[in-house]
Structure 1
Amino acid sequence: MAIGSSSSDSRPNPTGPDPQSQREVKGANANKKIDPFVPRTDHNPRELRSWAKRTGFVSTFSYETTTSNDTATPTPASDLYNRAVDNNNDHRNGGSSPKIEIDPILGRTRQLNSRIEIEPESRPGNDDRGLGLRDESKKRIVGNDVLGAIPNKDEVGLNGTGNEPKKGEVNDFDHVGIEVYPSGEERIADEGWNNRQSGMRYGLRDNPGFALLMYYGLQHYLSLAGSLIFIPLIIVPAMGGTDRDTAEVISTMLLISGITTILHSYFGTRLPLVQGSSFVYLAPALVIINAREYRNLTEHKFRHIMRELQGAIIVGSLFQSILGVTGFMSLLLRLINPVVVAPTVAAVGLAFFSYGFPQAGSCVEISIPLILLVLIFTLYLRGISIFGHRIFQIYAVPLSVLMIWTYAFFLTAGGAYNYKGCSPDIPSSNILVDACRKHAYTMQHCRTDASDAWRTAAWVRIPYPLQWGVPIFHFRTSLIMIIVSLVASVDSVGTYHSTSLLVNSKPPTPRIVSRGIALEGFCSVLAGIWGCGTGSTTLTENVHTVNITKVASRRVVEIGAAFLILFSLIGKVGAILASIPQALAASILCFMWGLIVSLGLSTLQYSQTASFRNITIVGVSLFLGLTIPAYFQQYQPESSLILPSYFVPYAAASNGPVQTSSKQFDFAMNALMSLNMVVTLLVAFVLDSTVPGSRQERGVYIWSRAEDMATDTSLHADYSLPSKVSRFFC
């Protein structure tokens, strides 16, 4: 009977498999945990960890539905598989449409049962493959059929990798770059500012070889030319300096920028960041330059004001170094986030709207073509590639300046600025005829031969410390620069975080950030001792340069810095740059300041941009950061009778509404409240710290932990000090 029963049970069932057993098998398969195909030991910046979630990054790959609460947890892989299989079966059986979920970041709907993109496995190394970046030419899309059932071993599972496509097969997605934005939308990759899919040509620790190092080093600094050389063209003439003084200050800035960049590459955050004269220090420098007691100076005016700036910069920079060395910067990092950084950096660029085109408008035949040309190169011709390099996007500023400078030379040689009886060499105060006074102003700003820097500059000159004299220290100017150093630190923190994500590295630890801020303070002390007129800090525009060149190697930045040091010793190089017409310089600065505004606002991508809380804080802080300084700047307009119109906003320190018994305190407070970036930072900081909001909503920067340095080899290699230096530090 037992044998007969067994034979009877083994006969095939004509009605098919038992439904109950079929459901049990399917349930077992669905709940079965799928292990990764290859264990991942290196860091993948696209892997959704806590720092990515809390900085506003939402991926369509993991189908996360986290809310703004800090307690949100990712969906387990088993649940993800079950939901994908169930949705697939619903489609096959004519079930209802898939559930529509709401994107927690932007409030847009997205469909759960969408195609899933399988990323290639991670490989060791520091190139784009090792960083886990996808190769656009080998992108594979897995549809519902694969998720529902795996007919053979060659198909691809949810966490596995499959065979290469058979020869002759054509995949539509092999020829299209898909950009997955935080909103969950799929768009054609633009390779613009926000393109996270495109990898770097050279990573942080890559060495492309000597020849390419030379090329990329020059390329990196040429793309930053507008930020490195144009500040002296503004401040030196305002200080009463000669064309030779302008050339010498430019050479000094090149030297300090080269030295401080190398120092930061070895002892700072070690990110590929260029140090230089920042626009953060330009507005406070102009405020000090236009103080009432300096307006009537005639003898040694340039040297006296430069020594005043040197003393203020040294004191403010020492405060910044103490901020980093003592670890107090690590405490401030908890309060610094994109909602504070974005309006502050944007206010740095907006602060010069009264200088930009009013100064450039003196020669509209030069300024308008230059602005149009740099916009055409940057926006309309950015996709044109020559020998694999997008030269119009990378060299937009130097190409535009060179072409329009040549055009201005032909205008000058053709007599466009020749006015009978008028000479640009005669001071405007000595010209009696109003028409001739206007023509003299035009000639000074438009003619390419108006500067005598080339004739007076030496061929070889080595900038040296205290070359303008012993610094002068006053409480009022020192207090201004102390507050400005805080603004520079906030600016640098945002740049550190953005650059670390851009080069596909983990964010640095708070200790590394503090180390970078401390070194920036030391570098600004060097700038004060040498007499650059402004402090030396991380250039925000460097983020844009790394993004468009796709070169993130710190060796490239170091070689470029060595070139700057070499050029600084050749006096004629500074003389050539000092010969740029002022109208041309103001025109290109209109673009550079606008770029700073856009880079500042772009940091909002790490927060919830659709949050009413965030957009209100940013909007109110920006508006108050413009209108409150305007009140201080226009309080007593008698300065408008003495100063040029574009310098009137920087004369509020001597004429502001704050009037107490202390003249030093009055000067400092009126100056600080007339600075757009200071007021914007104050308003944004107070509002963001007091208005309730979750960490994810605010986009709080998530930094790496200190213990990760000992366990994560990639983090240690990216940020640790050189071995010969690290043993001297605890």
Structure 2
Amino acid sequence: MATDSSEGSGPSSGPRIAYGIEEQPPLPKATLLGVQHVLAMFLGNVAPAIIIAGALGALSGQTAYLVQVALVVAGAATIVQAYPIGPVGARLPIVMGTSFPFVGAIIGIGNTYGLAAVFGACLVGALVESTIGFSFGRVKQFFPPLVNGIVVMLIGLTLIPVGMDYLAGGAGAADYGAIENLALGGLVLAVTLALNQLFDGFLRIASVFVGIVAGYLAAIPLGMVDFSAVQSAGWLALPELLPYGVAFEPGAIVTVTFLYVTTAMETIGDISGTTSAVGRDATEDELKGGLIADGVMSAVGSLVGAFPNTSFSQNVGLVNLTGVASRHVVAIGGAFLLVLGFVPKVGAVVSAMPAPVLGGGALLVFSMIFSSGVRIIYDDVALTHRNMTIVATSIGLGLAVKLRPEALAQLPQDAQLFFGSGLITGGFAALILNVVLPEDAPLSDRTAADTTVSADD
């Protein structure tokens, strides 16, 4: 087994790894491992584009293009993370893809201000995240595991209703809740769960992808797939520059910028999780480079009609599971994404996916995002009275505005857009409360102290 002595191998120096960050597996093996990364992130990368296109009438007929640029930008950003350009990139096996946390806000901005305002806000917000990367040493104290865990939980909680809408046939669809929709989405969910829990290796890693394929194939004989767009799609096309224009609306910019702050937390966690696979902590240069790349590549994406990118946690899990931490393997995966993105037929095939098939996979993915946030809190946060209060307040406020948006109807439009996002309201509350509330002792320490006092009495 190949090892990277500088990164540790064996029980005495850290976790066992098959290939270190700087090692290159043989090309045939590296290619298969790179494709495995693509399979692990494919649904998560294209689903935001499909959901947003379905929710915004102005994007009618644009799903295939949005999928195409999502693949291209994800591939380019992944390669940059593996092979940095100056300060842009972490020099780590970080897989990038379209970020789910932006979905709700982008739909709201698109319906309120139009598509140009969406991409103008994404461009400005991306530059702000790049600035956070350059000044990371001065702001990192604001992003402890407590805040990161709350944000990750809120991402999952606020997206679960979206997944359920798709499983039922799509919000507003004439056949919403039809038996065939629920059955098809349930099939995807069942296959994914079975593969994830009963198998190991490739089938477990690619369980969501295989579940989606199974549902897609089952939908064809049911007459639920329309391949007309696939037949008319070309074999090669390049992304367009500013296909939807740009406009700069202050309310939209503030909303999206805060979301970039939350995805910065996610990227910090993913970089740390990746380096832990080789038995060491992430360096400040790696964290800075990763955040800068997150912002710069999202800015580039906004210029071609792609939505914001971030690191993908499922691929961090794949690195830890397989012990393959080679950045060269991940770069091969990025190259595959690029190639797929330049072929419009691929985007057309993906966009032909029936809503229940997407919903069956997405519902589980969103739920797993929530459980990842729970794990961050459980593993890294002391369960003090203060911290539990912050968790309760932040989650409560986030769900309150998500489930009862009409309560904000009397606020100005920009305020409705900002605070109407459960992720933003809950995440903002977590940030503020973490700064203003004083620290206290862990519950276990307080219990011991109380016992001591009672004994003295």
Q: Deviations over 1:555-592 (max 9, x none)?
A: 11101101111111111111111111112112211011
CA change 1:197–1:453 in 2 (3 A) is farther
Instruction: List aligned pairs for 1:108-187, cutoff 5 A.
Output: 126=4, 131-134=8-11
Q: Quick one: which of 223, 226, 230 aligns to 1:454? A: 230
The offset of 1:496, in angstroms, is 2.1
The offset of 1:487, in angstroms, is 1.5
| 2:195 alignment partner in structure 1 | 377
| 1:359 alignment partner in structure 2 | 166
TM-score using structure 2 length: 0.87
Higher relative contact order (CA 8 A, sep 6+): 2
Which amino acid letter does the alignment assign opposite residue 334 of structure 2? A
CA change 1:683–1:242 in 2 (3 A) is closer
| 2:110 alignment partner in structure 1 | 289
Q: Deviations over 1:52-84 (max 9, x none)?
A: xxxxxxxxxxxxxxxxxxxxxxxxxxxxxxxxx
Contact 2:3 2:9 in 1 (8 A): no
Which amino acid letter does the alignment assign opposite residue 380 of structure 2? S
Gaps of 5+ in 2: 170-180, 444-457
Contact 2:68 2:342 in 1 (8 A): yes
Instruction: List aligned pairs for 1:183-332, cutoff 5 A.
Output: 199-240=16-57, 244-267=61-84, 268-291=89-112, 305-325=114-134, 327=135, 329-332=136-139
The offset of 1:244, in angstroms, is 4.9
Q: Quick one: which of 509, 521, 527 aligns to 2:295? A: 521
Contact 1:255 1:564 in 2 (8 A): yes
Q: Deviations over 1:261-283 (max 9, x none)?
A: 11122222222111121012112
Identity percentage over the alignment? 23
| 2:410 alignment partner in structure 1 | 657
Matched, 1:686 2:439: no
Contact 1:624 1:680 in 2 (8 A): yes
Q: Supply the distance in 2 between the matched residues of 1:280 and 1:358 (Cα, whole angstroms).
A: 17
Instruction: List aligned pairs for 1:204-603, cutoff 5 A.
Output: 204-240=21-57, 244-267=61-84, 268-291=89-112, 305-325=114-134, 327=135, 329-362=136-169, 363-379=181-197, 381-383=198-200, 390-412=201-223, 447-449=224-226, 452-466=228-242, 468-509=243-284, 511-532=285-306, 534-603=307-376
Contact 2:20 2:326 in 1 (8 A): yes
Q: Supply the distance in 1 between the matched residues of 2:133 and 2:206 (Cα, whole angstroms).
A: 35
The offset of 1:460, in angstroms, is 1.3
| 2:380 alignment partner in structure 1 | 607
Contact 2:67 2:347 in 1 (8 A): yes
Q: Deviations over 1:661-701 (max 9, x none)?
A: xxxxx33321111112212222222232233337999xxxx
Q: Supply the distance in 2 between the matched residues of 1:668 and 1:394 (Cα, whole angstroms).
A: 41
Q: Supply the distance in 1 between the matched residues of 2:300 and 2:442 (Cα, whole angstroms).
A: 39
Q: Deviations over 1:643-675 (max 9, x none)?
A: xxxxxxxxx7xxx331xxxxxxx3332111111
| 1:69 alignment partner in structure 2 | none
Q: Deviations over 1:313-352 (max 9, x none)?
A: 1111112222323x1x322211221111001111011112
| 1:618 alignment partner in structure 2 | 391
Q: Supply the distance in 2 between the matched residues of 1:602 and 1:615 (Cα, whole angstroms).
A: 14
Which amino acid letter does the alignment assign opposite residue 435 of structure 2? S
Say which SS state the counterpart of residue 201 (structure 1) adopts.
Answer: coil
CA change 1:395–1:693 in 2 (3 A) is same
The offset of 1:464, in angstroms, is 3.0
Give the structure with higher Rg (CA). 1
Gaps of 5+ in 1: 1-123, 136-195, 294-304, 384-389, 413-446, 636-651, 659-665, 698-730
Contact 2:153 2:370 in 1 (8 A): yes
Q: Deviations over 1:149-186 (max 9, x none)?
A: xxxxxxxxxxxxxxxxxxxxxxxxxxxxxxxxxxxxxx
Q: Supply the distance in 2 between the matched residues of 1:200 and 1:356 (Cα, whole angstroms).
A: 36
Q: Supply the distance in 1 between the matched residues of 2:58 and 2:318 (Cα, whole angstroms).
A: 32
Contact 1:243 1:453 in 2 (8 A): no
The offset of 1:216, in angstroms, is 0.4
Which amino acid letter does the alignment assign opposite residue 376 of structure 1? A
The offset of 1:202, in angstroms, is 2.0
Q: Supply the distance in 2 between the matched residues of 1:558 and 1:583 (Cα, whole angstroms).
A: 32
Q: Deviations over 1:195-235 (max 9, x none)?
A: x9863322212211111111100011101112111112111
CA change 1:690–1:566 in 2 (3 A) is same
The offset of 1:372, in angstroms, is 1.6
The offset of 1:469, in angstroms, is 4.3
Which amino acid letter does the alignment assign opposite residue 263 of structure 2? A
Say which SS state the counterpart of residue 354 (structure 1) adopts.
Answer: helix
Contact 1:448 1:580 in 2 (8 A): yes
Q: Deviations over 1:399-450 (max 9, x none)?
A: 11111211111222xxxxxxxxxxxxxxxxxxxxxxxxxxxxxxxxxx112x
Q: Quick one: which of 391, 406, 416 aligns to 1:634? A: 406
Q: Deviations over 1:214-259 (max 9, x none)?
A: 1100011101112111112111122226775211111111111111
